[in-house]
Amino acid sequence: LSRRTRRCAASGITPTMNCRAEVLEVSVEGRQVEEAMLAVLHTVLLHRSTGKFHYKKEGTYSIGTVGTQDVDCDFIDFAYVRVSSEELDRALRKAVGEFKDALRNSGSDGMGQISLEFYQKKKSRWPFSDECIPWELWTIKVNVVNLANEQERQICREKVGEKLCEKIINIVEVMNRHEYLPKMPTQSEVDNVFDTSLKDVQPYLYKISYQITDSLGTSVTTTMRRLIKDTLAL
């Protein structure tokens, strides 16, 4: 895991924040891309989702319950736990599906990366748009390999499974550092911290984006589903 600290300078009003960044790398076969990405993203989101908040009069709130379920991979000897939320699963599958298609269609050597970023919204006065301040960024670098025969594929199933086990352990290590997490918001602020659009769980606000790189490492096609609005724009 390499760790870079990115400074996202805010406007003069808000203090500078560090956005911690974690990078994971995996080499997988084409048909394993989706499951591998989902395994990592779901594991991160498991740790970054809470139950739905229900605010009560006195400013206190209660929290709903997060269910979990096991997911078996078809192309990898691996299983992972995800939050029981169909909406969330659909959203992740959509993003990962697009990433996989982009990888396949890019004609590159099959290298790309998908990023999951957690951010907070900072409301600004007009004419300035809201700022999005990232506080945690997970990047998964993917290298797609082509295998010649069934035996190699079988080995790949197992190897990738083992690698993913390592990644899960890495993710959990990071989570356990108990580093910066946004403060629990008041009712008026909750949408600046959490994604309250889902009906059963409440992940922190997040964005998924991806890039396909060519073999030289430069960005050939930059396809961003949602752009990160950098507060440096000011």
Which spans of this chain sit near another protein (rule: CB under 8 A)? Answer: 43, 46-47, 50-52, 54, 62-70, 72, 77, 79-81, 83-85, 164-165, 168-169, 171-173, 175-176, 178, 184, 199-201
Instruction: Report the nearest approach of another protein to the CB of residue 188 (Å).
Output: 20
User: Token pair for residue 205?
Assistant: 């606000």
Query: Between 52 and 229, whose beta carbon lies closer to another protein?
Result: 52
Instruction: Report the nearest approach of another protein to the CB of residue 8 (Å).
Output: 24
Mapped to the 3 state alphabet, what secondary structure does 80-145 carry?
A: EEEECCHHHHHHHHHHHHHHHHHHHHCCCCCEEEEEEEEEEEECCCCCCCCEEEEEEEEEEEEEEE
Instruction: Report the nearest approach of another protein to the CB of residue 89 (Å).
Output: 11
Strands 131-145 and 201-203 turn out to be unpaired
Query: Between 2 and 65, whose beta carbon lies closer to another protein?
Result: 65
Q: Are 33 and 99 in contact (CB under 8 A)?
A: yes
Phi, psi angle pair for 104, to nearest 5°: -70, -40
Instruction: Report the nearest approach of another protein to the CB of residue 108 (Å).
Output: 31
Query: Between 171 and 193, whose beta carbon lies closer to another protein?
Result: 171
User: Token pair for residue 208?
Assistant: 């998924």
60: how many CB neighbours lie within 10 A of its CB? 8
Query: Between 124 and 170, whose beta carbon lies closer to another protein?
Result: 170
Q: Are 110 and 99 in contact (CB under 8 A)?
A: no
Instruction: Report the nearest approach of another protein to the CB of residue 40 (Å).
Output: 11
Query: Between 80 and 206, whose beta carbon lies closer to another protein?
Result: 80
Query: Between 85 and 139, whose beta carbon lies closer to another protein?
Result: 85
Phi, psi angle pair for 230, to nearest 5°: -80, 135
Instruction: Report the nearest approach of another protein to the CB of residue 123 (Å).
Output: 25
